[in-house]
A and B are shown apart, each in its own frame.
Chain A
Amino acid sequence: MSAAMRFAKSHEWIRPEADGTATVGISAYAVEALTDLVFMQLPKVGSRVVAGQSFGEIESVKAVSDLYAPVSGDVVAVNATLPERLETLGNDPYGEGWIVRIRPDDPAALDGLLDQAAYEALVASSPH
Chain B
Amino acid sequence: MTASLAPDRDAGAASAEPRGAAATTPLRYWIDDPAIGSVNMAADEWLAGVAVSAGVPVARFSTWSRATLSLGAFQAAAAVPADGLAALPLVRRASGGGAILHGTDLTCTVAVPRSHPWGGEAQRLYDEVHRALVGVLAAAGLRAALHPAVGDPGAAAAATEAFLCFDRRATGDVVLPAPTGRWPKILGSAQRRHHAAVVQHGSLLWSRNDAAGGPHARLGLADVAATAGVRLDPIGVRDAWLAEIAAAAGLLPALQPGCTWDADRAAIADLAARYGDAAWTHRR
Contacts and interface: CB of A to CB of B under 8 A. Distances in A.
Interface residue SS majority, chain B:
loop
A63 B120 contact: no
A33 B120 contact: yes
A59 interface: yes
B61 interface: no
B55 to A, nearest CB: 13
A63 B117 contact: no
Which bucket holds chain B's interface residue count? 20 to 34
Given A33-B120, A128-B120, A63 B170 contact: no
A126 to B, nearest CB: 6
Interface string B95-119: 1110000000000000000111111
B74 A38 contact: yes
A62 B195 contact: no
A54 to B, nearest CB: 9
Nearest to B196: A10
B150 interface: no
Given A59-B96, A61-B170, A64-B96, A127 B74 contact: no
A62 B126 contact: yes
Given A62-B190, A63-B191, A39 B119 contact: no
Given A39-B96, A59-B96, A127-B117, A64 B74 contact: yes
Nearest to B93: A64
B120 A127 contact: yes
A39 B191 contact: no
Nearest to A40: B74
B122 A64 contact: no
Contacts of B116: 127
* Interface hub of B116, B121, B171, B190 (most chain A Cβ within 10 A): B121
A59 B73 contact: yes
Interface in A77-128: 126-128
A68 interface: yes
Contacts, number: 70
A62 B123 contact: yes
Interface in B120-168: 120-123, 126, 159
A35 B192 CA distance: 14
A126 B118 CA distance: 11
Contact of A66 (B115, B118, B195): B195
Given A10-B195, A127-B115, A127-B116, A60 B121 contact: no
B96 A126 contact: no
A50 interface: no
A38 B117 CA distance: 25
B194 interface: yes
B268 to A, nearest CB: 20
Interface string A51-72: 0100001011111111010000
21 contacts: A33-B120, A33-B122, A38-B74, A38-B96, A41-B74, A57-B73, A59-B72, A61-B96, A62-B122, A62-B123, A62-B170, A62-B191, A63-B95, A63-B96, A63-B193, A64-B192, A65-B193, A66-B193, A66-B194, A127-B114, A128-B120
Interface of A: 10, 33-35, 38-39, 41, 52, 57, 59-66, 68, 126-128
Given A63-B198, A127-B115, 11 more contacts: A33-B120, A41-B74, A59-B96, A60-B96, A61-B171, A62-B123, A63-B190, A63-B191, A64-B193, A66-B195, A128-B117
Interface of B: 72-74, 94-97, 114-123, 126, 159, 170-171, 189-195, 198
